[in-house]
Structure 1
Amino acid sequence: MAHMLVPSMQCRMGITSNSIQARPIMTAKTWNSLLSNARRPKTKKSTSTFKVLALKSDNNGAVSRLENLLNLDITPFTDKIIAEYIWIGGTGIDIRSKARTVPRPVEHPSELPKWNYDGSSTGQAPGEDSEVILYPQAFFRDPFRGGNNILVICDCYTPSGEPIPTNKRYRAAQIFSEKKVINETPWYGIEQEYTLLQPNVKWPLGWPVGGYPGPQGPYYCAAGADKSFGRDISDAHYKACLYAGINISGTNGEVMPGQWEYQVGPSVGIEASDHVWCSRYILERITEQAGVVLSLNPKPIEGDWNGAGCHTNFSTKSMREEGGYEVIKKAILNLSLRHKEHISAYGEGNERRLTGKHETANINTFSWGVANRGCSIRVGRETERRGKGYLEDRRPASNMDPYVVTSMLAETTILWEPTLESEALAAKKLQLQV
């Protein structure tokens, strides 16, 4: 069916439909006046008010046309969808992705085909045998493409089906599939802190280039152009995560200016880590569009500035029931005995953050306390009062792998049993009665 061309002509010439409707009916007097004006010689001041915008080649027009194409809704015309396959690269923290067409919308990850990529380009395979296979494990609605399009969280395997060394999800899935762990229904609430950096100079957003803002204090959960830097990015990320189906529960400005935090959870088992990884991917894409650099460095600025952590709140069914406080203390005891193992897996560069200052415990010393943010493990006042609840592991760095941290917490507190002797010594040292 032919489409009317008049509206598009009006747009190109800068005429609105309202201006046409408001124009009076043409009379003989008006027509003669127009003819008379047309015969008069043109002066420099007599310029046309009608501008053919289509002929202008400015960047704004190009951007507008590009945005129109990006926002196209393909749903009425095809059942096909775009699936963005996301995986973790060779550093263990870099996020990679590529897109493919899928014939129709899906309801479960098992309906999505496996795919492959060049592992030699991500530091995950040698050049002579570079194929790495992507296994779809979870998917979310795509806030960038909209419609039925999806973001797909994958883990990585060799062509023979063996998990590659950087595939931390595989081991986590094994732990979370243990019957004892399933019966305890482990809940996680993960607090992801991050820093926004100015491009090129790699200096925090809102900071004077090569200089420093005023001391910490006014910036935490603050409002105002001189105190809050990057709120639009935080809010855009918040809404995008809700759209995607990520269980994001809140966000706030952090202690160091240019630093933010969002929380994912409470989520059960491995789902918590899938949600955190997808939320990180969305944040990377949003900062990319904003022309800002995302940093998960646990201590982006040396000196008297807070670092960036990924505090992990954790509870089991037994902790949440009557008598749960004793179960929490037993879990803390187990965590103290495996402190070194946890610290070694809690993020690169964490020793620069865990100094005993800026609301952290010293990396070499395990400690716990009620409402104490300077401890390794914090227990809330409400948990102490009610005699049940959860604990907060404050040791993980902002660049930690949530698959590793969540599965280690479950393994250490649910599956692992220390010897009676080591348990007694640890209880005495921590003054725990269990």
Structure 2
Amino acid sequence: MAKYKLEYIWLDGYEPVRNLRSKTQLKDYDSFPTVADLPDWGFDGSSTKQAPGGSSDCVLKPVAVYPDSTRKNGALVMCEVYNADGTPHASNDRATILDDPDAWFGFEQEYFLYQDGRPLGFPENGYPAPQGPYYTGVGFKNVGDIARQIVEEHLDICLDAGINHEGINAEVAKGQWEFQIFGKGSKVAADQIWVARYILNRLCEKYGIDVEYHCKPLGATDWNGSGMHANFSTKHLREVGGEAYFLALMAQFEKNCMEHIAVYGPDNHMRLTGLHETQSIDKFSWGIADRGASIRVPHSFKKNGWKGYLEDRRPNSQGNPYQIASRILKTISEVAK
């Protein structure tokens, strides 16, 4: 038997953005453990805004496990938080969401790398050269020397873990990057985003760099904000579709516009201004290949008989993927087929 290092990962009770937390448990196993092999584990909820000090016990229930190539016999264990009585904790955004293995999600996670309180590559005072050469940029003056090393190392750790990355690239602002993850089912896709975020945060510790997920960290400037565009499809959208169904779906998205915005990440009013390829936060629109629309419709979707996938461009980089995927599915479920 080998002693495995089990890193239990969960989301705390902070609002409006959950923080990632983790701690290590060691257990003996003959081989890499499955979720069913992993025990529940307690923690002090009074230190994570999840319980009062007089009754602080909370429970971690493993829901997904991934190999951790950064540690000998390492495992990353994504958990839900439960109360001591066995009910889901109020901060548990995963336990009760809508899920469907035939609903596919692709999240485009943008983020900034920060050092000494400013984006990586920014001068100590002022700003670098304007945006333009940084998106998918190459060369030291555009991406620096540390960022790509971090991004590539993060990609390899995630791939070793079995997380389904589909791409990486430098983004529009200096110090800004993106990774894309695809998963089948709300919970699978969202679990992988959270674990990928965890891996990135932990990796950056050794470089003395922070990951900034705020959707507009540079405030009211012309520098880009960060999104987490949600590409989605259902079995019906992929196999049946049709213009009438699509138009009914878009009508329902418009009707539910503010319900979506409510779970698409805090401070989105700073990012969804109607400028920089965004639709205004209080409006809804869709368009063929329109990056300024709420929902971007790929050319392939229309060419294939209004079938395939759609891209919701409103979720931001701090958004909770559990809530985002569930809200999208709820709207889809309200449309007659």
TM-score above 0.5, yes or no: yes
Residue 266 of structure 1, CA deviation: 4.2
Contact 1:325-1:383 at 8 Å conserved across structures: no
Residue 165 of structure 1, CA deviation: 1.4
Q: How does 1:156-167 map to 2 (within 5 A)?
A: 156-167=81-92
Query: Is 1:228 aligned with 2:143?
Result: yes
Instruction: Give the distance between the partners of 2:45 and 2:188, measured in 1 at CA.
Output: 26
What is the match of residue 326 of structure 2? 407
Residue 322 of structure 1, CA deviation: 4.2
What is the match of residue 348 of structure 1? 266
Which of the numbers 177, 202, 205 marks the counterpart of 2:117?
202
Residue 268 of structure 1, CA deviation: 2.9
Q: How does 1:11-410 map to 2 (within 5 A)?
A: 78-91=1-14, 92-104=17-29, 105-146=31-72, 148-172=73-97, 175-176=98-99, 181=100, 185-198=102-115, 201-229=116-144, 230-302=147-219, 303-387=221-305, 388-410=307-329
By relative contact order (CA 8 Å, sep 6+), the higher-ranking structure is: 2
Larger radius of gyration: 1
Residue 134 of structure 1, CA deviation: 0.3
Residue 93 of structure 1, CA deviation: 2.6
Determine helix, strand or coil for the equivalent of 1:162: coil
Instruction: Give the distance between the partners of 1:213 and 1:356, measured in 2 at CA.
Output: 25
Contact 1:247-1:267 at 8 Å conserved across structures: no
What is the match of residue 71 of structure 1? none
In structure 2, the CA distance between the partners of 1:328 and 1:238, relative to structure 1 (3 Å rule), is: farther
Instruction: Give the distance between the partners of 1:374 and 1:250, measured in 2 at CA.
Output: 22
Instruction: Give the distance between the partners of 2:236 and 2:242, measured in 1 at CA.
Output: 6
Instruction: Give the distance between the partners of 1:266 and 1:123, measured in 2 at CA.
Output: 30
Give the letter for the 1:298 counterpart: C
Contact 2:248-2:335 at 8 Å conserved across structures: no
- Identity fraction in percent: 43
Contact 1:328-1:390 at 8 Å conserved across structures: no
Deviation readout 1:212-258 (Å, 9 max, x if unpaired): 01111111001011111411111111111001110111100000110
Instruction: Give the distance between the partners of 1:256 and 1:386, measured in 2 at CA.
Output: 34
Give the letter for the 2:43 counterpart: Y
- Which deviates more from structure 2 when the two are superposed, residues 87-96 or residues 398-407? 87-96
Contact 1:93-1:399 at 8 Å conserved across structures: no
Instruction: Give the distance between the partners of 1:263 and 1:326, measured in 2 at CA.
Output: 30
Deviation readout 1:333-374 (Å, 9 max, x if unpaired): 211111111101111111111101111110011111110011
Determine helix, strand or coil for the equivalent of 2:278: coil
**TM-score if structure 2 supplies the norm length?**
0.94
Determine helix, strand or coil for the equivalent of 2:88: coil
Residue 106 of structure 1, CA deviation: 4.5
Contact 2:167-2:179 at 8 Å conserved across structures: yes
Residue 263 of structure 1, CA deviation: 0.2
Could you say what the CA RMSD is over the residues aligned between the two structures, in angstroms? 1.5
Determine helix, strand or coil for the equivalent of 1:255: coil
Determine helix, strand or coil for the equivalent of 2:205: helix
Instruction: Give the distance between the partners of 1:333 and 1:153, measured in 2 at CA.
Output: 36
Give the letter for the 1:143 counterpart: S
**TM-score if structure 1 supplies the norm length?**
0.74
The number of aligned residues is: 330
Determine helix, strand or coil for the equivalent of 1:128: helix
In structure 2, the CA distance between the partners of 1:94 and 1:323, relative to structure 1 (3 Å rule), is: closer
Residue 125 of structure 1, CA deviation: 0.8
Instruction: Give the distance between the partners of 1:133 and 1:329, measured in 2 at CA.
Output: 44
